Amino acid sequence: MERIPILRMGDCLLVTIQVDMHDQLAMTLQSDLSRAIAAQRTSCVLLDISQLEIVDSFIGRMMANTAATGRLLGAETVVVGMQPAVAITLVELGLSLRGIHTALDVERGMALVERAAASRA
Amino acid sequence: MPAAVAIPAVRSDFRRLIVERREEVLKAWVKEQLKEGRAESLPAAELRAQCDEFLTLIANPADSDSILDAGAEAWAPARAFLADLSRTRARQGFSPSETASFVFALKRPLFAMLRAEFADDAAQLGDEIWHATELLDQLGLLTMEEYQRGREEVIHRQQQEMLELSTPVVTLWDGVLALPMIGTLDSARTQIVMETLLQRIVETGAAIAIIDITGVPTVDTMTAQHLLKTVTATRLMGAECIISGIRPQIAQTIVHLGVDLGDVTTKATLADAFRVALSRTGRMVGPATKHGDD
């Protein structure tokens, strides 16, 4: 079964979605990710969706749920590189993903995470 | 040997009359139009030339079954001529009836001539008048349609131009975009504004976008909702959005309507918003220091 790799970078987990998301894959990713956060006790997750061109309400909700689950486990989620069409779709679907941090690209996402870590310390 | 069944061509003697007594028709027609008033604003020579050309186009097609059908192939040149004429007149500010009277004014001199020609044959006179009326009415209606179409094209083009004009995304500084909005915000425009802005954010990698609504005359709940959508979409992409140019009345309206702009940063002027944007990107504007001549 295909899985989306979860890479560890310092205190972060980096997830790059490079294939079309279907519901099963999204479910698998969600459970894999929560297990990885708990096991590796990381404080942040970078979800890179710059290659994702199509979203539906399920994927949108999955992102919100992943972020909420992560927060319960002590990790903040940063969604990076969302495409304009995806952003417009999510807004039209009424999913504003409140409580999720966003950044234009992975680099800025990392900077955001580091700033947040520095302010916590 | 089977004889070919010849379908008798519809005779149109009124066209024969036009050919034979062309100068007379032309003079009477031009005079008729000058009487209407508006045509005076056209140079008489130009009007005469237009009438002359149209008479040629009426006289030209050979008689056939479809000769009284202005939609037929034979009338294509005449239709093109009238289309051109209507559009020109629409642009020159002629009213629809003034434009259509170009064709209708031909009736009076033509009918007078027909009456003289067929004075002793009432049936023939009736037929001819009917045929002429049928054809000229169709052509007259055609001018109306073209006139209307010309006007619609103008409106459509202006709409397009307004849409394009109203969504310029400008770069204020490295990483700071501004979008000065002008005019009423409806769904269609918001969609274009949103798409343009998000596209520019991707292209430039700008971290902050300022939406300036100084030029938006009124804000209602719909407008506010559209604005919020744009702000949310921008945030989803990872950039920040500041709304500026909120006039005091608009601020009051927003409060009265009970619209919750949530945690959106809002400023009264674009300058204030720009200052915030600069400080968020780690820059500041200060007075220039004089270095003298060193």
**Of B198, B205, B207, which has the smallest distance from its Cβ to A87's Cβ?**
B198
Which structural domains are found in chain A, ordered by start?
Answer: 6-120 (3.30.750.24)
The number of C-beta contacts closer than 8 angstroms across A and B is 53
Q: Are B243 and B267 in contact (CB under 8 A)?
A: yes
| CA trace torsion B9, B10, B14, B15 (10° rounding) | -40
**Distance of alpha carbon A36 from alpha carbon A38, whole angstroms:** 5
Residues 6+ apart with CB under 8 A from B18: B25, B55, B58, B59, B110
What is the pLDDT confidence band of residue B39, given thresholds at 50, 70 and 90?
Answer: low
**Of A88, A103, A105, which has the smallest distance from its Cβ to B194's Cβ?**
A88
Residue range B13-160 in CATH 1.10.10 = no
Residue B207 to residue A104, Cβ atoms within 8 A = yes
Best mutation site among A82, A92, A98, A105 for testing chain B: the one with the most B CBs within 10 Å? Answer: A82
Average pLDDT over residues B205-214: 92
**What mean pLDDT is reported for chain A?**
88
User: Which residues of chain A are within 8 Å of residue B205 when distances are taken between CB atoms?
Assistant: 104-105
How would you label B73-105 residue by residue, b for 16+ Cβ within 10 Å and e otherwise? eebeebbebbbebbbebbeeebeeebbbbbbbb
pTM, to two decimals: 0.64
What is the pLDDT confidence band of residue B269, given thresholds at 50, 70 and 90?
Answer: very high
What is the pLDDT confidence band of residue B76, given thresholds at 50, 70 and 90?
Answer: confident
Residue A104 to residue B232, Cβ atoms within 8 A = no
What's the pLDDT at B7? 45
The pLDDT of residue A117 is above 70: yes
The pLDDT of residue B292 is above 60: no
Residue A90 to residue B236, Cβ atoms within 8 A = yes
> What are the residue ranges spanned by the domains of chain B?
13-160, 170-280
C-alpha torsion sign, points A48, A50, A53, A57: positive
Q: How far is A78 from chain B (nearest CA, A)?
A: 9
Residue B236 to residue A108, Cβ atoms within 8 A = no
Best mutation site among B174, B179, B237 for testing chain A: the one with the most A CBs within 10 Å? Answer: B237
**Distance of alpha carbon A67 from alpha carbon A86, whole angstroms:** 18
What's the pLDDT at B239? 92
What is the pLDDT confidence band of residue B11, given thresholds at 50, 70 and 90?
Answer: low
**Distance of alpha carbon A24 from alpha carbon A21, whole angstroms:** 8
Instruction: Specify the CATH number of the domain B170-280.
Output: 3.30.750.24
Two structure tokens written together for B281: 């990107």
pLDDT tens per residue across span B217-255: 888 888 888 888 899 999 999 999 999 998 888 888 888
| pLDDT-wise least confident of A31-35, A56-60, B79-83, B166-170 | B166-170
| CA trace torsion A69, A71, A73, A78 (10° rounding) | 90
The pLDDT of residue B128 is above 90: no
The pLDDT of residue B291 is above 70: no
How high is the ipTM of this complex? 0.82
Specify which residues A3 forms β-bridges with. none
What's the pLDDT at B201? 92
Nearest residue on chain B to A50, alpha-carbon basis: B237
* Chain B contacts to A (CB-CB under 8 A): 194-195, 198-199, 201-202, 205, 207, 229, 232-239
The helix or strand, by DSSP H or E, that contains position B214, with its residue range, turns out to be strand B208-215
Two structure tokens written together for B254: 């927003």
Q: pLDDT > 90: what percent of chain A?
A: 32
How would you label B165-175 residue by residue, b for 16+ Cβ within 10 Å and e otherwise? ebbebeebeeb
pLDDT: which is higher, B54 or B71? B54
Closest by CA to B52, choosing from B28, B22, B15, is B22
- Side-chain-side CA neighbours of B293 within 13 Å: the count stands at 0
